Homo-oligomer: A and B are copies of this chain.
Amino acid sequence: MPRRVDHEERRRAIAEALWRIACARGLDGASLRDVAAEAGISLGQLQHYFSSKDEMLVFALKYLGGLAEERIRARLLGLNGPPSPRDVLRETVMEMLPLDDASRTGNLVQIAYFVRALHDERLRGHAKEGIPALRAFFADQVRTGIERGEVDASRDADAEAMLLIALTDGLTTHLLLEACDQDETKSLLDGHLDRLFTP
């Protein structure tokens, strides 16, 4: 083992071990010791970075959120020309959905956290922390759409933002259950956006 450890690097390696467990068998019943073993370190070393499973989950979620943001940015840069409000909404929700391994991992970790948060008020605070920011971001896109004459002015931007988030979360459940396939999910979301972006 190298004498000097990059602490941020180590935290990330632990978070990634947690994701591998989340994807392979879920986090129910997975202990700190299981995660340490998966990361190839001792329980003591892991506890140097995280004193509880919840602390580890909060870090893993933030790290995953950051990676998802990078992927969304890359998607938008990959479009021809500057993205329209509709492009921004579409690429963001497509990245939120479990359509590939990276987003599937993110979703599974989020669900593990969500289930713990249902019975823990403090965790619930963390779990819902990101929602108002995402909602405000989506509402801004809808408002810009209205200003550009791409969305009917009678639409309530804040309500549309929440509808789109809820729809994406619901479709995530059905994709993970394999009750809806990828093509159908994409076409349902495109249909929803088509109607929103009808002046």
Which of B167, B178, B195 contacts A170, CB < 8 Å?
Answer: B167
Inter-chain contacts of A179 with B (CB < 8 A): 128, 131-132
Inter-chain contacts of A13 with B (CB < 8 A): none
> Is A89 close to B, CB under 8 A?
no
Contact with B along A160-192 (1 / 0, CB 8 A): 001101111111011011111000100110011
Nearest Cβ distance between residue A152 and chain B, in whole angstroms?
A: 10
A111 to B171, CA, bound (A): 15
A170 to B171, CA, bound (A): 8
The verdict on A119 contacting B25 (CB below 8 Å), with A114-B177, A131-B179, A177-B128 known, is yes
Copies of chain A in the complex: 2
Q: In the bound complex, do residue B191 and residue A159 qualify as a contact, i.e. CB atoms below 8 Å apart?
A: yes
Interface of A, helix, strand, loop or mixed by DSSP: helix
Inter-chain contacts of A111 with B (CB < 8 A): 115, 118
Which of B24, B124, B184, B195 contacts A177, CB < 8 Å?
Answer: B124
Nearest Cβ distance between residue A64 and chain B, in whole angstroms?
A: 17
Inter-chain contacts of A163 with B (CB < 8 A): 167, 188, 191-192
Which of B131, B156, B184 contacts A174, CB < 8 Å?
Answer: B131
Q: In the bound complex, do residue A165 and residue B176 qualify as a contact, i.e. CB atoms below 8 Å apart?
A: no
A114 to B178, CA, bound (A): 12
Which of B115, B159, B162, B165 contacts A26, CB < 8 Å?
Answer: B115
A103 to B153, CA, bound (A): 36
A144 to B113, CA, bound (A): 41
Nearest Cβ distance between residue A198 and chain B, in whole angstroms?
A: 11
Which residues in window 115-140 of A have CB below 8 A to B?
A: 115-119, 124, 127-128, 131-132
A115 to B112, CA, bound (A): 8
Interchain residue pairs A-B with the least CB separation, the first 5: A166-B170, A170-B170, A169-B170, A128-B179, A131-B179
